[in-house]
Structure 1
Amino acid sequence: MRTAATLGPRRRPVALMSFVAAATAMVFGVAGCGSSDPAPGADLSPAATTAAEVVTVRDPWVKAADKGMTAAFGTLVNSSRADVTVVSASTSVSPMELHEMTMKDGKMVMQPKAGGIVIKANSEHVLQPGGDHLMLMNVASPVKAGDELTFTLTFADGKSVQFSAIAKPFTGAGESYDPGHPSMSPGMSMSPST
């Protein structure tokens, strides 16, 4: 008489194994045909998401001003896994530039930010008085405290996002404009209260 130890591996009926194989193939076959699958050749990299889909502006505000220059501030939040670059900003009340503060001849001056404003992956970039900011070069009419302005940020990928900012009074960080910048018209100066 043979014992269980001498019988060798237990064999499953062929019909059961065929059923399991067919069911597995059907499940994987259906899953592969789902409409949520990317198209062949689709870019699945983190950069495939546009900057406008991943950047938000937190706590935006603009400095109230009767004339001349003023600036918009806030925190740019990038929720993607890739760096994003803001290349320009615009609003209906003034031409705009992206600016930074830097040391020049022993004093802090503001100048256009070469290469745009880079927001690192999964990070924030603060726009603030005395630092990077969105510069309104010559407001067409007074921007009074409580006014709401709409801004558009344009990214290196050509996409854009809009945000609104409320104007408020601000005494400033004592900045001065770099008079050597070509966008400065003769006689234009930066108010120390900007």
Structure 2
Amino acid sequence: MFRRIFPALLAALLTLSACGDGTGDAQGGADGLAVADAWVKATDMNMSAAFAVLSNSGDEDVEIVGVTTDLTDRAEIHETADGAMRPVESVTIPAGESLRLEPGGDHLMLMDLTDPIEPGQEVELTLELGDGSTFDITATAKDFAGGAEDYEGGKGH
């Protein structure tokens, strides 16, 4: 029986470990926040973006008002609307719901990068929440050519 269960448990563990590492403060808006599928677009250019699925299991809406990372001093929350990417002041994850940060939609924009982001690199991001708490995410860099996005030179911003 162990021989049948062990491979399933191992597969489940590997799947969960690939979902990203989201941890938050023990109090505040991060209480019900969780992250899955966190990743960053690998690049040798000066712009990239981070994506994830953020879930809020709490009783209160969670507002994300900023993002920081050691990769740059210029990281912003962006939306894509009417074919253009633009910064927004915040995004809200309603209580009991999820927010998908994805190519062609809401995302975390990383600008003025001084070093390349290599495939497989672990990137640390900190979400700043509206109540003053923070939520840390570890995202894995991967190659991605989809989404019809052009980060070079600020086009579409």
TM-score (norm 1): 0.63
- Name the counterpart of 1:146: 120
TM-superposed CA distance for 1:122, in Å, is 0.6
Q: CA RMSD in A?
A: 1.8
Higher strand residue share? 2
Indicate yes or no: 2:97 matched with 1:118: no
Distance 1:126 1:152, change over 3 A: same
Distance 1:84 1:135, change over 3 A: same
TM-superposed CA distance for 1:190, in Å, is 3.6
Contact 1:67 1:142 (C-alpha < 8 Å) held by counterparts: yes
**Which of the residues 63, 66, 82 maps onto 2:60?**
82
**Which of the residues 130, 150, 153 maps onto 1:156?**
130
Deviant stretches of 4+, over 6 Å? none
Indicate yes or no: 2:79 matched with 1:100: yes
Deviations 1:135-182 (A, max 9, x none): 0012120001000010000100000011100000000312357xxxxx
Deviations 1:23-68 (A, max 9, x none): xxxxxxxxxxxxxxxxxxxxxxxxxx61122211111000001021
Give the Cα separation in 2 of the matches to 1:139 and 1:125.
26
- Percentage of matched positions with identical amino acids: 39
Larger radius of gyration: 1
- Name the counterpart of 2:46: 68
Tell me the amino acid that sits aligned with residue 87 of structure 1. Answer: V
Tell me the amino acid that sits aligned with residue 109 of structure 1. Answer: A
TM-score (norm 2): 0.77
Structure 2, unaligned runs of 5 or more: 1-26
Give the Cα separation in 1 of the matches to 2:146 and 2:87.
18
Tell me the amino acid that sits aligned with residue 64 of structure 2. Answer: V
How many residues of Structure 1 are paired with residues of Structure 2 in the alignment? 129
Contact 1:110 1:176 (C-alpha < 8 Å) held by counterparts: no
- What does 1:49-64 correspond to in 2, within 5 Å? 50-64=28-42
Give the Cα separation in 1 of the matches to 2:150 and 2:137.
27
Indicate yes or no: 2:115 matched with 1:136: no
Tell me the amino acid that sits aligned with residue 81 of structure 2. Answer: T
Contact 2:103 2:147 (C-alpha < 8 Å) held by counterparts: yes
Tell me the amino acid that sits aligned with residue 53 of structure 2. Answer: T
- Name the counterpart of 1:28: none
Between 1 and 2, higher relative CO (CA 8 Å, sep ≥ 6) is seen in: 2
- Name the counterpart of 2:7: none
Structure 1, unaligned runs of 5 or more: 1-48, 178-186
